[in-house]
Amino acid sequence: MSLTGIALVLIAASLLILLAVLIPILQTIKHTAASIGNLADMVQGELRPTLQELTAVLAELRTVGGEVAEHTDDVKKFMTALGETGTNLNSINRSVGAVTTVLNTTSIWATGARVAGKYLLEQYLKKRGGK
């Protein structure tokens, strides 16, 4: 065989080896492309409803946020009224405390006066009865 024949045989063998390696690679690439296509279809199929749900949730959040903003003034008014009520209750408590102190003092004086009156009456009756 001549040098050209050997070179042709080597080239042919190289091409066969290259084809033997390239065919499985090309099949794998074809399967990968098909899988990627299926994945893209699945993602699009799942993504659209998810995006629609997300849009609905965002709309609800906007509505709730608007309602919260509307009721913020009501909450402020309520908290102000609650603070004023606390102040008024404190004033009432102080007034009741003062009245209670006065009543206790009056009760003590009344009891003292009653005891003193009894004592004086007894002393008077003893002096009168003793004569």
Whose tokens are 């042919």? That residue is 12
* Mean pLDDT for the chain overall: 87
Name the helix (H) or strand (E) containing 78.
helix 3-130
- Mean local confidence (pLDDT), 58-82: 84
Q: pLDDT at position 47, please?
A: 84
pTM of the model: 0.39
- Mean local confidence (pLDDT), 67-71: 78
Answer whether residue 131 shows pLDDT above 70: no
